[in-house]
Amino acid sequence: MLTVNKTLGVLCRLPKWQIHGFLRSFTFRPGKQFLHKLVLGIETSCDDTAAAVVDETGSILGEAIHSQTEVHLKTGGIIPSVAQQLHRENIEQIVKKTLCASGVTPNELSAVATTVKPGLALSLGVGLEYSLQLVNQYKKPFIPIHHMEAHALTIRITNKVDFPFLVLLVSGGHCLLAIVQGISDFLLLGKSLDMAPGDLLDKVARRLSLIKHPAYSTMSGGKAIEHLAKQGNRLHFDFQHPLHYCRNCNFSFSGLQTAVDKIITQKEKEEGVEKGHILSCAADIAAAVQHTVASHIAKRTHRAILFCQQRGFLTPSNAILVVSGGVASNLYIRRTLEIVTRATNCVLLCPPVKLCTDNGIMIAWNGVERLRAGLGILYNTEGLRYEPK
Ligand code: KG4
Ligand code: ZN
């Protein structure tokens, strides 16, 4: 009742002409004692077809996801046309399942938010086309979402994090450090000069033929490496740390990939193992690669924290490092980053593992953030395009 009373108070203060719009911006859910905005989020930027309905308090009313990981593992990487076909086959049922789980009809939605950048063109196209059809049919506002911004703000669903904060985004397509100054105000401090850490881990897992190992055959490359590494000794291999001579916050992983590839070829010769079979030292290689990735990421992040503290971007009261993206689900990497945050009096915050990898919740939440701030809400979607880069 408190919320209803508050709302009535706001209504009394509004001029008449605004009252109708104000009421329309809320959704009343019969049987519940509150009024709130509801956003449907749709994600198809890469290999997950995902959707969720989230309200403005961050409550997840319903969600559904269809992962293409197993299909792409079999073909040795994502084939864009295959990803597109799988998104097409699944998007409708994923959205219907989400709405059904939420107990929300399309008419009750305040807006639809969908990833339009960056990602695979063919994959983004499916989500956008479906969403535009939905918003046109139900006359709903549309909120285009930047996938990386959504990863960065996911933490605000579970924790009270005010702007500005430092964010490290590590995924299959990106690696970047940025100061988040507002909902769509990011100051980039560093990024990968070549490949992303998730991409490297996926390639190493493939090169180690982990798909042939029953325990890892259905896991993403990064997750498989994390699990295998637990049985390995990282000290058995020593990989050079990337960019140790560069005093900035950029990342690089392609040199490490070449070095790992070389070692695997050498070990295959030594062990008389044919390419495509699992080496006896696979766990040691996984542990050493994971360690090198973790310490490279930690060193660059350390530099970024020091820079932010020196320049006053991070003060003792808001010294927060948020880490998100698929690779942030890696507990070894999280623990390594914890060493850095402890040493610099920062607080490390990571979304729950389920919210680190791609999902519809983060897209819906970004829609909620934008709706609340009145940022980037489209009532006319004519000419709207997705942007792969
Ligand atoms: O954020 P995400 O789901 O999709 C992109 O936006 O790229 O990240 C996927 C990446 C993949 O490369 C996957 O191997 C990696 O995240 N990943 C992990 C773990 N789980 C997923 N990397 C390391 N450790 C994990 N536990
Ligand atoms: Zn992602």
How does pLDDT run across 195-254, given as a tens digit for each residue? 999 999 999 999 999 999 999 999 999 999 999 999 999 999 999 999 988 999 999 999
Ligand 2 centre and the CA of 118: distance in Å? 9
How does pLDDT run across 293-334, given as a tens digit for each residue? 999 999 999 999 999 999 999 888 779 999 999 999 999 999
53 assigned to some structural domain: yes
Average pLDDT (152-168) is 97
The pLDDT of residue 283 is above 90? yes
Task: Indicate if 281 and 192 belong to the same structural domain.
Answer: yes
Ligand 2 centre and the CA of 288: distance in Å? 25
Whose C-alpha lies nearest to ligand 1, atom 2? 326
Q: Number of structural domains, the chain?
A: 2
Average pLDDT (269-289) is 92
Which ligand sits nearest to residue 286's alpha carbon? 1
What confidence category does residue 368 fall into, taking pLDDT thresholds of 50, 70 and 90? very high
123 assigned to some structural domain: yes
Task: Indicate if 225 and 274 belong to the same structural domain.
Answer: yes
Token pair for 7? 């709302």
Q: Which atom of ligand 1 is nearest to the CA of 45?
A: 6
How open is the CA angle 87-199-71, to the nearest 5 degrees?
35
Task: Indicate if 348 and 361 belong to the same structural domain.
Answer: no
Strands 165-170 and 320-324: parallel
CATH number at residue 253: 3.30.420.40
Which residues fall within 8 angstroms of residue 268, CB to CB, at 6 or more apart?
274, 275, 279
Task: Indicate if 125 and 178 belong to the same structural domain.
Answer: no
The pLDDT of residue 272 is above 50? yes
What confidence category does residue 35 fall into, taking pLDDT thresholds of 50, 70 and 90? low
pTM score, two decimals?
A: 0.90
Ligand 1 pocket, residue 173 CB under 6 Å: yes
Ligand 1 pocket, residue 326 CB under 6 Å: yes
Predicted local distance difference test score (pLDDT) of residue 2: 33
The pLDDT of residue 11 is above 60? no
20 assigned to some structural domain: no
- Residue to mutate, 220, 331, 334, ligand 1, most ligand atoms under 8 Å from C-beta: 220
Mean per-residue pLDDT of the chain: 91
Task: Indicate if 246 and 110 belong to the same structural domain.
Answer: no
Which ligand sits nearest to residue 332's alpha carbon? 1
Q: 32 vs 1, 63, 104, CA distance in Å?
A: 10, 20, 13
Whose C-alpha lies nearest to ligand 1, atom 8? 326
Task: Indicate if 368 and 335 belong to the same structural domain.
Answer: no
Task: Indicate if 327 and 196 belong to the same structural domain.
Answer: yes
Ligand 1 pocket, residue 357 CB under 6 Å: yes
Which residues is 60 bridged to in the sheet? 54
Token pair for 63? 């969600």
Whose C-alpha lies nearest to ligand 1, atom 25? 223
66 assigned to some structural domain: yes
Which residues fall within 8 angstroms of residue 91, CB to CB, at 6 or more apart?
42, 44, 49, 126, 127, 130
The pLDDT of residue 23 is above 50? no
24 assigned to some structural domain: no
The sign of the torsion formed by the CA atoms of 113, 118, 123, 125 equals positive
Ligand 1 pocket, residue 46 CB under 6 Å: yes
Ligand 2 centre and the CA of 237: distance in Å? 30
Task: Indicate if 130 and 170 belong to the same structural domain.
Answer: no
Q: Which atom of ligand 1 is nearest to the CA of 226?
A: 24
Task: Indicate if 222 and 320 belong to the same structural domain.
Answer: yes
Task: Indicate if 181 and 298 belong to the same structural domain.
Answer: yes
Q: Which atom of ligand 1 is nearest to the CA of 220?
A: 14
Q: Which atom of ligand 1 is nearest to the CA of 201?
A: 14
Task: Indicate if 126 and 260 belong to the same structural domain.
Answer: no
Which residues fall within 8 angstroms of residue 243, CB to CB, at 6 or more apart?
193, 250, 251, 252, 296, 300
Strands 347-349 and 320-324: parallel
The sign of the torsion formed by the CA atoms of 32, 33, 35, 36 equals negative
Residue-range definition of the domain harbouring residue 74: 38-159+357-373
Task: Indicate if 133 and 244 belong to the same structural domain.
Answer: no
Ligand 2 centre and the CA of 282: distance in Å? 27
Closest among 369, 373, 337, 387 to 153, alpha carbons compared: 369
The pLDDT of residue 358 is above 70? yes
Predicted local distance difference test score (pLDDT) of residue 209: 94
Ligand 1 pocket, residue 202 CB under 6 Å: yes
